Structures are given as C-alpha cells and as structure tokens.
Chain A
C-alpha cells in the first residue's frame, strides 16, 4: 500500500468513523486483531475499538475530532488531533456532567493490507480529568 493510501485509511478512521459515527466500517478500516496501546495514565482503557465506540456514543455522543497533522512513512502514519465533546452520559461509572471538554493528542498507526493493525495513543488525560472536575 502507498503512503497516500495509508493516510486515507487513517483519515477515514477520524472523519468517517469518529466524526460521522459510521460504526459499520470498523471491519473495513481495521484488522480483526487490531492492537490498541494506551498510556498507563489514561483512565479509559477500552478492550476493543467496538467497545470504545459504544462507550463514546453513550458518554460523549457529539465527539468531534480535528486532524491537525498527518505524516506517513513506510507502513506508519502519525496524526496529531484534538476533539471537543460534551459529557452527556455515564462514563467510567460517573454520571453525566454536561461539561464541554476538549482533548488533544498524537496517535501512531501501523497499516497492514490497507487496514489499521496497530495503534499507539497519547492524549492529555491530566487536562481532561481537570476539565471533568476529578482533580
């Protein structure tokens, strides 16, 4: 796959999947054994992308991402992103705060056969917990 094709699948991940909530494209853009790597300091450690999506849809249903940078080389793509979302449903056992929150981060993706096979995430958990009034 070309770097451009790899960037395209990562763009679909943010725009089609997360922003347009097209949950049915998971198998089209990610490998069945997609491996997720979260930083230990992140409170939310979803076991799968499907579960993650379901939690987001009930806790932060209006989540909207902006892609700020996209870099591709070989089988890797890196994206710097931010999102805004409103906490309108239960999240990690905590009821809705109706707070509007924002987060920012950098993700690295490994693409295999045109699908996302592995993803490393780094977000601003400290900032997010501040905004939710946990700290």
Chain B
C-alpha cells in the first residue's frame, strides 16, 4: 500500500472504527499519543483526552455512527487528508448543557487530518454543522430571525 492509500484507510478507520465503534485497539494503532483534536468550540490535547471524548459522546449519542459514503469523499496526499462525513445518532444525554432531547439527529461535516512520518494521525481539525445539530436537539434560541 502506498502512503496515500494508508492515509485513506486510517481516515476511514478513525471515523468508522474509532468514533462509530469506540475501538481502542485501532485508535492506538492509527493515532499518535500526542494527538490534537480541534473543533471551532473545543480542543482536546492528547489521544487519551480524545478517547475520553469519544466515550462520553458515545454515551450521550446513542448508536453514534460516522460514515463516509464513497471513496470520492476522501482526499489525501502523503502527509494530509480530509473526509466529508455523515453523522447519525439519537441524543439521549446532556451535551453542551442541552439535556437529552431523545431526537434522532443527523449532520454532515469535514475533517482535515495530519499524519506524522510513521503514518499516525497527529492532528484532526473538524468543521461540522453544529448549528444544525443544536437546532435538531432544541439547544439554540435565536434572539431575532437571521
């Protein structure tokens, strides 16, 4: 497998095995211990902190599933890669101060990954449709219509 092919596999595993199944063994194989997980509203420092988030979110969001519909939705080179993904779940616990809504939720987003020389993911920057997720779980109130 070329480095690009390896990176594409790791991106899919990150979403479909680590996030969707909570697979710790695969996480340790593909993610660097000093991994940085960065969103517009949060920053997790280290693989252990990130795995804590995965575990928490998997208990707040029932059957949390991240999927990449097609190989066309992954773009990679030797050191970086990105994926357009879909998330599906049911909101059953308090998330960012919003109590369980028991609503089915679905959003899309994109994540940009950086790989170190060993081919492990050392950074992921996420851009997701949190506005839509907040609307789906009733967690947002607009002060005026915008």
Contacts and interface: CB of A to CB of B under 8 A. Distances in A.
A104 B110 CA distance: 12
A1 interface: no
Chain B CB count within 10 A is highest, among A73, A92, A94, A129, for A73
Contacts of B109: 39, 122
B75 A122 contact: no
Contacts of A74: 75
A23 interface: no
Interface string A91-126: 011100000000011111000000000001011111
Contact of B112 (A69, A72, A124): A69
Interface residues of B, number: 35
Nearest to B108: A39
**Dominant secondary structure at the B interface:** mixed
B82 to A, nearest CB: 4
B131 A125 contact: yes
B104 to A, nearest CB: 15
A78 B84 CA distance: 10
A47 interface: no
B110 A122 contact: yes
Contacts of A126: 40-41, 130-131, 134, 140
Interface residues of A, number: 34
Contact of A72 (B77, B111, B128, B144): B77
Nearest to A91: B146
B44 interface: no
B132 A73 contact: no
Given A73-B4, A126-B41, A106 B131 contact: no
Contacts of A43: 146
Nearest to B109: A122
Given A106-B112, A126-B130, A120 B84 contact: yes
Interface in B17-58: 40-41
Contacts of A80: 82, 112, 125, 127
A41 interface: yes
Given A39-B129, A41-B135, A69-B80, A78 B110 contact: yes
